[in-house]
Chains A and B, each alone.
Chain A
Amino acid sequence: MNFGVIVFPGSNCDHDCIHVLSDVLGQKAIPVWHKESTLDGLDAIILPGGFSYGDYLRTGAIARFSPVMGAVKQFADEGGMVLGICNGFQILLEAGLLPGAMLRNRSLSFICRDVHVRVENAATPFTGRCRPGQVLKIPIAHADGNYYTDDVMLSQMKAAAQVVFRYCTADGQVTPEANPNGSLDHIAGVRNAAGNVLGMMPHPERSAEAVLGNDDGKLIFLSMLDALQKAKLKAVLT
C-alpha cells in the first residue's frame, strides 16, 4: 500500500512514521511536502507529530491553511483514511476534519512519557487489530493535549462511538489520575462521524517495534493496512 506522510515546516515525526511503514511493515511510504496540491496514487495519509509553524498562534492553526490541506480535506471527504498523530491531530481539529479543540495541558507542562489508553471502539479501520477495551501502552509528548468540546458535541460523539481512545491505568481503569493532561472525558483519540479520519495524541510510531521494548503502536498501522487491503479486494471483486 502507498502511504503519504505530510511534512509541514516543523514536523518532526515524519521520518519515524515512514520508518515504521516501510522498514517494519514493508509498505511504500513517501513524504509529501505541505506545498503539494495533490495526493494522487496514495492509499492513506498520515499527519505526523511535531511543531508545525512553531505552534504559533495555536497548535495546528497555521498548518491547516497549508496548500496540501485542501487535498487532504478532499481525500477525507472521498472516504480516504487519514490519521493525525499529536500535532497531526491538532491540525485535523483546527481544519474541522475532527470535532473539538485542544487546550494547554492542565499541568502547563510538556509531558513526554508512556501512557495507557483503552480502545473504546475496536470497529474502526484504525483499531481493527485491537480487542474492544484492550489497553495499549503508547507514549505521549505534548503540551497541548487537553481535549475539549462542548456538551452537545460530546454527547453526539459518544452516541456515534467517535471516542476511540481514553486514557486509563495499566489495567484499563479510567481514573482522574490516569488522565495526563486534563482531557475532557479522558479522551485521547477521536474519529470523525464517517469513521475514516482518526486523531490521537499518543505516538504509535514510537512504539511499533519489539526491539524498542514496546510494539503496541504497531496495531494501529496493521489495522490501517488490513482495512486498506480489504477495501482493495472489495474494489477488485465488484
Chain B
Amino acid sequence: MKAKIHVTLKQGILDPQGKAIEHALDTLGFKAASNVRVGKYMELDLAEQDKAKAEAEVKAMCEKLLANTIIEEYRFELSN
C-alpha cells in the first residue's frame, strides 16, 4: 500500500515562504492568486495491506515525526 502525505503549516500561522511566493506571483501578473501556503509532500510504501491498520500506522507516523502538530497539520491518502 502506498501513502501520500501532505504536511502544511496550520491556517493562521504565518507562512513566510508562502507570502514570498504570493508576492512573486503577483509581480508576474498572476493577480488572482492569494493565500499561498507551502508544505511538504512525502510518499512511502507500507507493507500493511489492511486499510484501517495502515491508516492508524500513517497517522502515528505523522503525529510522532512527520508533522509537528504545534505548527503543522497533515492529511494523507492511501492507495494500493
Residue of B whose beta carbon sits closest to that of A102: B71
Q: Which residues of B contact A57 (CB under 8 A)?
A: 40, 65-66
Contact yes or no, A61 B16, CB < 8 A = no
Contact yes or no, B68 A104, CB < 8 A = no
- Secondary structure call for the B interface: mixed
Q: Which residues of B contact A150 (CB under 8 A)?
A: 70
Contact yes or no, A149 B70, CB < 8 A = yes
Contact yes or no, B65 A103, CB < 8 A = no
- Secondary structure call for the A interface: loop
Contact yes or no, A104 B16, CB < 8 A = yes
Q: What is the interface size of chain A, counting residues whose CB is below 8 A from a CB of the partner?
A: 19
Contact yes or no, B71 A103, CB < 8 A = yes
Task: From the candidates B14, B20, B68, name the one contacting A58 in the complex (CB within 8 A).
Answer: B68
12 A–B contacts, CB within 8 A, in A order: A57-B40, A61-B68, A94-B68, A101-B70, A103-B16, A104-B16, A107-B16, A108-B16, A148-B13, A148-B70, A149-B70, A182-B16
Taking Cβ atoms with an 8 Å cutoff, the residues of B that contact A are: 9, 13-14, 16-17, 20, 40, 65-66, 68, 70-71
Taking Cβ atoms with an 8 Å cutoff, the residues of A that contact B are: 57-58, 61-62, 65, 94, 100-101, 103-108, 146, 148-150, 182
